Amino acid sequence: MPALRQALTVQGNPLRRARRTPRARVARARRGTTSPDHPTGESRGRRRTITRMAFRRPVMMDHQTELPGCPGGRLPARRARMSTPETNPAHPRDPFSVPAIWGNVPPRNRNFAGRTRLLATLHERLQAGTTAMPPQALHGLGGIGKSQLALEYLYLHQGEYDLVWWIPAENTPQITRSLSELGHMLGLAVQSEPGTVVAAVVDALRRGSPYGRWILVFDNAESPEQIARYLPASASGAILITSRYPHWDRVARPLEVDVLPREESTELLRRRGEDLTEDEADRLAEALGDLPLAIEQVAAWRAETGMPADQYLRLFEEKQSELLTFCSPGDYGRSVATTWNVSLDQIETIDPAAIQLLQICAFYAPEPVPRHLFAGARRGPIATEMDRALADEIQLGLAMREIQRHSLARIDPRTQALQVHRLVRSVLTIRMTAVEQDRMRQGAHMLLSAADPRNPRSPTSWERYAELYPHVLASGAIESADPWVRDLVVNTATYLQRWGDHAAALEFTRKAYAAWKDQFGEEETHTLTLARRLGSVLFTTGHYAEAAELNARSLELHDRMSPHGRRPSRPSEIREEHLDAMSAVAADLRAQGEFARALQISDEVYRLSERAFDEDDPVTLNAAHNLGVSLRLVGDFEKAYELDRRTRDVKAELFGTDHEQTLLTWVGLTIDQRELGRYDHARHRQEEVVSLYRRLMGDTDPATLHARRVLAVARRKAGDHHRARKLSEQTLELTRRRFGEEHPDTLASTLAVAVDLCHTGDLDGAALLGRRTAERYRESLGPAHPHSLSAHANLAITLRLLGDPETALDLDRAAYDGLVDRLGDDHVLALACETNLGSDLSALGRHAEARDRSADARDRSARVLGPDHPSTLAATANLAIDLQALGEKEEALALHTRTMDLMRQTLGANHPVTTELGEWIRANCSIDPLPL
């Protein structure tokens, strides 16, 4: 966890170092990692395991931190009381104690002065009470000192908190990354996807577990909408927001930060320049508009140079005349710009490489620019002096030192990352000519592309992409025509999706695709590549119609651009990108309920892959897996089983039994076995698969969640109803936290829980959840989709058992007609629905109609699934009950006896279905929608 180690360092207390036993070091060394992937076979995330030491050993401040009453940043050992998970927020902490977790907090500004009234007001507002306190939003002009005020508050009141966490909030990926790091520190779902970890963190803070007193700082947030979902409501926790945006009333209590009072401005100037007279300090403060950032910069400049106040004011006045046309945010922009131009002129004379380095940074985000972006980068020429510095670590270090000496940027003492304030960036941009701007912007892009790990699917690269992402965004890299930069844009989009921030991935990829389509055309190679990525993100997030339109257009372009302008057939003409486009269209058809058409394309992709690649090539194996998905959806489970078994065996030989690619197809294989009626075998195999997934990827990885859902259904089919319900409810909660309410996986999990509630006797709960799920399926996939019709068929079972057979009959008739129209009357879904129709008619006393339905379902099911399949036996047992109701008792008894013998052989004597049928209770055929 390199970023975490950089952000959180342990204070140099010798007593604490002595406690680091060899055993603790071994435990830390054994924290393992795995690299699980998404169910589609693409990489998801490196998993980190954190020992319980995280709760017992405080994470301290860096060496620059100075605690109240402790000069030099060292805390007396007798006062270093540990915070425990049992900390009671009702009892105040020792004001000299150190938070158990102190994360990402910048070093304290030793020159901070004033703001006494604001600090007191803030402290009063943030006192814990009996109800959840609203977040406090410090808002004001850029450079007004909002972040410094929040920082000073943390250092003054750190002893009142068990957990202090600083969150850069410029964009959503930064927020989720920071909260994910906090989740790992708390030991929450350490092997989960970021979205799941973030949800777990928010929930843990809301509950005050394991720490009751905590404070989060969301620094430089853009808007309430951006961060609202990350704000845990708690009576003992506190949230502090800094932002230029003033309208926070909906989610927070605003507190405006204005310029410094004049006496505080002069105090700050004279603190670092004792030679200043009251009058000189007052004139400087007047010229600087009492803006804290400008005051700090000038104070630092004078401390370094010793320049007399009159000389500085004279230079300041000269630079003002050059900036009459400059307009920056707020009323103090001209003063700030003038201030920095004095320093920029000086540094340009002393070290041209330093000014060029700053000019490059003017096109990056306000976030820290990692040093590795400059050091040892392979690139073309940018600017002469800077090129020399980039090629020489010593020269680069001297340039960065000069920048810091003039207070033009902040350099992190631990990471050496360079951070340039947005107003300095604005001034730098204004100073450059159009030609210089173009050259430096291209240089910024060049350095970013040179730092690209070029492996966005690997979790080992995600830290690097997390550092690059805000600068890719701010630099306008999506506008670049350079092929290497465009590769970086595609890789950034891939990283965002694989890392788990689907919202950011969708926004970024949409924006980049629109720009490329306009600038380069939709047929250009990079544009087509990004179109496939956008289609994947759209499908993943449930935007099925938009994904289908885009993917269909991409396939059309691939066909047109192929030799002879048609679908390739010769091995030499077949390209992997073209096959990917075809597979995407097949997935879209499955989402539209067009299972037969999807099967045709999946089969074509598989045949083409066999011609162009080896049987054990990943492209062919992926095509085989997708073909298995399509075969299952049309109900051809025997073919799906044989194909999946071969594919699983080849993958096991190539990758290993416990590899994600092998497990991916193994899950499909157990679904095949389940649908073929081999319930016990499917359950035992899926128990094994889930065990491997949990060991490989953790409990809440998307692939694991999918496997858990399949296992819950297998348990229910095997008769273990209560354990099935427990697992499906757990899986639903994890899936909801991971994806949100409207995600397709959440819908599938919700449907599974509704069915399990029905099987375990909670009919009211099943009806409530069933209605909600059926409606959401209609909204998501459309009313005619087989999954929507299946959800209504399941709801019908619950309503009939609740005593409403009329409504159940109406639902089942509509579902049956829709399934027959879409899939045919021999499809297994239609057969299940017909079996339930017979039960509806029986409940209404229409026994002759019920007998006819049961007999037809029995005959068709025997032909399609076999005479001994549990579904066939269920229809047969229901037929016996119908015959008995019609007075044909001998025939009914004989049929019932034969069916019971077969049911005991197939399901076992103790299976709930066997037991209920033995008591002449009708069987119900619930439907579990198959993965798309």
Q: What is the tens place of the pLDDT at every residue in 574-606?
A: 889 999 999 999 999 999 999 999 999 999 999
Q: 183 and 234 in one domain? A: yes
Q: 270 and 254 in one domain? A: no
Q: 124 and 174 in one domain? A: yes
Q: 295 and 254 in one domain? A: no
Q: 97-132 burial, b if ≥16 CB within 10 A, otherwise e? A: bbbbbbbbbbbbeeebbbbeebbeebeeebebeeee
Tally the domains of the chain. Answer: 2
Determine the pLDDT at residue 40. Answer: 37
Q: 287 and 180 in one domain? A: no
Determine the pLDDT at residue 258. Answer: 82
Distance CA 19, CA 21 (A): 6
- Cα torsion 251, 253, 259, 265: sign: negative
Distance CA 26, CA 10 (A): 18
Give the residue, 843 or 329, on which the prediction is more confident. 843
Q: Say which range, 76-80, 586-590, 782-786, has the weakest mean pLDDT.
A: 76-80
Look at residues 204, 238, 258 and tell me which one is the last residue of a structural domain: 258
Q: What does the DSSP 8-state code read for residue 365?
A: -
CATH number at residue 123: 3.40.50.300
pLDDT in tens, 393-438: 888 888 888 887 776 777 877 778 888 876 678 788 888 999 999 9
pLDDT in tens, 598-647: 999 999 999 999 999 988 899 999 999 999 999 999 999 999 999 999 99
Sequence-distant (≥ 6) Cβ neighbours of residue 306 within 8 angstroms: none
Determine the pLDDT at residue 331. Answer: 41
Determine the pLDDT at residue 584. Answer: 96
Look at residues 303, 322, 350 and tell me which one is the last residue of a structural domain: 350
pLDDT in tens, 866-920: 999 999 999 999 999 999 999 999 999 999 999 999 999 999 999 999 999 999 9
**Domain annotation covers residue 821:** no
Determine the pLDDT at residue 671. Answer: 97
**Domain annotation covers residue 267:** yes
652 φ, ψ (degrees, to nearest 5): -60, -40
Q: 327 and 313 in one domain? A: yes
pLDDT at 488 over 80: yes
- The overall longest dimension of the chain from CA atoms, in Å, is 116
**Domain annotation covers residue 673:** no
Structure-token pair, residue 363: 């096109």
Q: 172 and 309 in one domain? A: no
Share of the chain above pLDDT 90, in %: 52
pLDDT at 54 over 50: no
**Domain annotation covers residue 216:** yes
**Domain annotation covers residue 591:** no
Is pTM beyond 0.75 here?
no
Structure-token pair, residue 139: 């808002």
569 φ, ψ (degrees, to nearest 5): -135, -35
Structure-token pair, residue 44: 């998801």
Share of the chain above pLDDT 70, in %: 84
**Domain annotation covers residue 701:** no
For residues 93 and 162, the answer to whether their CB atoms sit within 8 Å is yes
Q: 292 and 238 in one domain? A: no
Q: 271 and 254 in one domain? A: no
Give the residue, 93 or 609, on which the prediction is more confident. 609
Q: Nearest Cα to 708, choosing from 723, 235, 719?
A: 723
pLDDT in tens, 16-36: 333 333 333 333 333 333 333
Sequence-distant (≥ 6) Cβ neighbours of residue 23 within 8 angstroms: none
Determine the pLDDT at residue 556. Answer: 93
Q: What number is the average pLDDT over the span 156-171?
A: 92
Sequence-distant (≥ 6) Cβ neighbours of residue 275 within 8 angstroms: none
Q: 302 and 280 in one domain? A: yes
Q: 280 and 211 in one domain? A: no
Q: What does the DSSP 8-state code read for residue 89?
A: T
Q: Give, for 75, the enclosing helix (H) or strand (E).
A: none
Determine the pLDDT at residue 319. Answer: 62
Q: For residue 329, what are the domain limits?
A: 262-350
**Domain annotation covers residue 5:** yes
Look at residues 258, 274, 301 and tell me which one is the last residue of a structural domain: 258
Distance CA 821, CA 789 (A): 12
Determine the pLDDT at residue 337. Answer: 66
3-class SS letters over 406-446? CCCCEECCCCCCEECCHHHHHHHHHHCCHHHHHHHHHHHHH
**Domain annotation covers residue 813:** no
pLDDT at 376 over 50: yes
CA-to-CA separations, 235 to 93, 127, 199, 205, 806, in angstroms, rounded: 16, 9, 19, 10, 50
Q: 309 and 250 in one domain? A: no
